[in-house]
Amino acid sequence: MDALIIAIDGPAGSGKGTLARRLAGAYGLRHLDTGLLYRAVARLMLDRSRPLDDEDAAHAVAATLNLEFMDESRLRGREIGDAASVVSAQPRVRHALLERQRSFGLEPPGAVLDGRDIGTVIFPDAPVKLFVTASAEERARRRHAELVERGEHVDYDAILDDIRKRDDRDMNRAQAPLKPADDAITLDTTDLDADAAFEAACKIVETCRQPER
């Protein structure tokens, strides 16, 4: 493919989003956090007081979604993350958003896309595929620290429980379950800070791109 695609998958809180943004900057590529698409669908469903499991309504939202006018701050937070996990399990919602993700990635010079099915469904032929992970306990610790820094009073055990439930939903859904592509390289960030994870990811990218040179 003419455009360079770096596909990054992994569970919530693994650090894949931060990593994807840094890689995009380093390689002069655009970045798409595909999770924001599903979060936007969930946000609009909640705003319209529609049940999250109403697939007809969710599909209609996804088919006409325009992120340009969405306030990204309204797409963050645990509530929206959990809601997005529900709508993202719906086949018609995923289908409606699939071509949008592919079109974004194929526009030269390419892109870094992060999500849960980039390397398995959206770009199975991507030359660079990473599966970024970390232990559930470490991901909960990071999330807890982030929320405390914002001044929120949160319970670590509740966050850990939410993460485990979300992992279970994402990994066991019938449509595009969260799993590493067969040829993806796994990067475990449990014991890595952001800089160390970025350095390791850059080495993986260079190794994967080597055959093209």
Residue 18 annotated in ligand binding: yes
The CATH number assigned to the domain holding 112 equals 3.40.50.300
8-state DSSP, 89: T
Which helix (H) or strand (E) covers residue 189, if one does? none
Residue 81 annotated in ligand binding: no
**213: confidence class by pLDDT, cuts 50, 70, 90:** very low
Of the chain, the percentage scoring pLDDT greater than 70 comes to 98
Residue 108 annotated in ligand binding: no
* Ranges of H-type helices in the chain: 16-27, 35-47, 55-63, 78-87, 91-106, 136-149, 156-172, 194-209
* Domain total of the chain: 1
Residues 83-112 have pLDDT tens digits of 998 998 899 999 999 988 999 999 999 999
Residues 162-174 have pLDDT tens digits of 999 989 988 998 8
pTM score, whole prediction: 0.88
Examine residue 87 and state whether it is found in any structural domain, yes or no.
yes
Per-residue pLDDT at 153 exceeds 70: yes
Residue 13 annotated in ligand binding: yes
Residue 17 annotated in ligand binding: yes
Q: Phi/psi of residue 122, each to 5°?
A: -70, -50
Structural domain range at position 46: 4-196
Residue 10 annotated in ligand binding: yes
Residue 145 annotated in ligand binding: no
Residue 51 annotated in ligand binding: no
